[in-house]
Amino acid sequence: MDSALILEWVIKSAILIFVLLTGFAYLTLFERRALARIQVRIGPNRAGPFGLLQPVADGLKLIFKEELTPAEADKVLFTLAPVVTVVPALILAAVIPWGRDVTLFGRQVSLSVADLNVGVLYIMAVSSIAVYGIVLAGWSSNNKYALLGGLRSSAQMISYELALGLAFVPAILLADSMRMVDIVEAQHPWWFVVIQPVGTAIFLIATLAEVNRAPFDMPEAEQELTAGYHTEYSGMKFALFFMAEYAKMIVISSIAATLFFGGYLGPGVDRYPWLGPLYLFIKIVILLFGMIWLRATFPRIRYDRLMAFGWKVLLPLALAVTFITALGIVLEMLWLIPVLSLAAGLFTVAMVHRALRRKAYARA
């Protein structure tokens, strides 16, 4: 292990964290502007051209705000919780490949921080750790709304983690590897979203629940729980929660892009490997816009329905999709996978529709 390699790792990690933190800041601006456009408003446009300095102003404001700690709170955990929330969001990005190997200053440099042979499992492990921050924030605040928010989020995240984990399986099966680079390279002619559209949909829905975004933002439902787990947080500690949520959005989008939308692949990547990060960036921005669009469009789901949806709809469908993918691979008929899984998806949608119709009749 030579020192140049360690230096390379340090530089790549620093770049990654820098990109995530700037990305977080500008994602908040992007979200506010996009939401404003959807709601026929203008959005923040005063600080700098197009409001580009707005994140800086927000950051300064949050730094200078007073930090309150409730008197009866558990001081240690209250301080630790925001940190525990941010760290998984940042280290999750370590296994995502940004592009093929490039030659830089006479060295072969691989464009990912860590190329693990258990990359997908790493993502599952780290994302399952992420729940601690929220649960601890809720418990240590010694506030009933915060506790309820924390409990809701832990139940929600455990439930949707199952569907999320199963949604990884089609990508692993199709690529025959858990290494992220292999998964990207296996999508060369066809992206996995084409082969397994329903698996992709399950993944996207489960990740929405996993990052607590609307319409699954139950843990911080302001109408019922004031602000859920971060009710008692202010100043920089609140900013850390905010940062974790948005950094996680970016990372989850990049994971979705890598697993199902071809990652850094795109026309011309074979000849110019530097195009890889650019393609990945474009895909991430499109997915992020999708998340913001969903937030602007759908109202929040009722909590019992959210859990019922996770356990009774998403999990069985994910199992069916896994089975169908394995079947298609064993029979060596890849066209079977999208056909059968779309049929299963349509069947599920029809059943949910029927159940909701019945409930509506019963009420009337």
Partner 1 sequence: MTNLVLFLVLAVVAVVTALGMLLSRNAVYAALFLVLNFATVAVFYILLEAPFIAMTQVTVYAGAIMVLFLFVIMLLGAERLPGTEPLPWQRPLAIFLALVLAVEAGYLLFARRAAGGMFASAAPDFGSPQAIGTMLFNRYLLPFEVTSVLLLVAMVGAIVLTKKEKGGRE
Residues that bind partner 1 (CB under 8 A): 74, 77, 116-118, 121-122, 124-126, 128-129, 131-132, 135-136, 138-139, 147, 150-151, 154-155, 158, 161, 165, 178
Q: What is the bridge-based pairing of β-strands 107-111 and 99-104?
A: antiparallel
Q: Which is nearer to partner 1, 125 or 286 (CB)?
A: 125
Give me 170's structure tokens: 């089609």
Helix (H) or strand (E) holding 242: helix 235-260
Residue whose CB is less far from partner 1, 57 or 114: 114
Comparison of 229 and 261: residue with beta carbon closer to partner 1: 229
Query: Closest separation between CB of residue 49 and partner 1, Å?
Result: 44
Q: Distances from the Cα of 78 to the Cαs of 127, 128, 209, in angstroms?
A: 21, 20, 24
Distance in Å, CB of 145 to partner 1, minimum: 14
- Cα torsion angle, 88, 91, 95, 96, sign: positive
Q: How many helices (H) and strands (E) does the chain have?
A: 15, 2
- CB count within 10 Å of CB 327 equals 13
CB-wise, 118 or 352, nearer to partner 1? Answer: 118
Give me the least distance between CB of 295 and partner 1, in Å please.
Answer: 26
Residue 48, classed as helix, strand or coil, is coil
Minimum distance from CB of 103 to partner 1 (Å)? 25
User: Is residue 95 within 8 Å of residue 114, measured between CB atoms?
Assistant: yes
Dump the DSSP string for 215-234: TS-GGG-HHHHTTGGGTT--
CB of 40 to partner 1, least distance (A): 42
* Least distance from partner 1 to the Cβ atom of residue 290, Å: 27
Give CA–CA dist 31/293, Å, rounded: 9
Closer to partner 1 at the Cβ: 155 or 320? 155
Q: From the CB of residue 57, how many other CB atoms can be counted at a distance below 10 Å? A: 14
Nearest distance from residue 153's CB to partner 1, in Å? 10
Rank residues 136 and 206 by Cβ distance to partner 1 and give the closer one. Answer: 136
Measured between alpha carbons, how far is 147 from 167 in angstroms, rounded to an integer? 30
Rounded-to-integer distance, Cα 14 and Cα 93, Å: 12
CB of 269 to partner 1, least distance (A): 27
Alpha-carbon distance 142 to 140, whole Å?
5
CB 232 within 8 A of CB 77: no
Rank residues 95 and 337 by Cβ distance to partner 1 and give the closer one.
95
Residue closest to 146 by CA, chosen among 50, 70, 205: 70
The residue (of 161 and 232) whose beta carbon lies closer to partner 1 is: 161
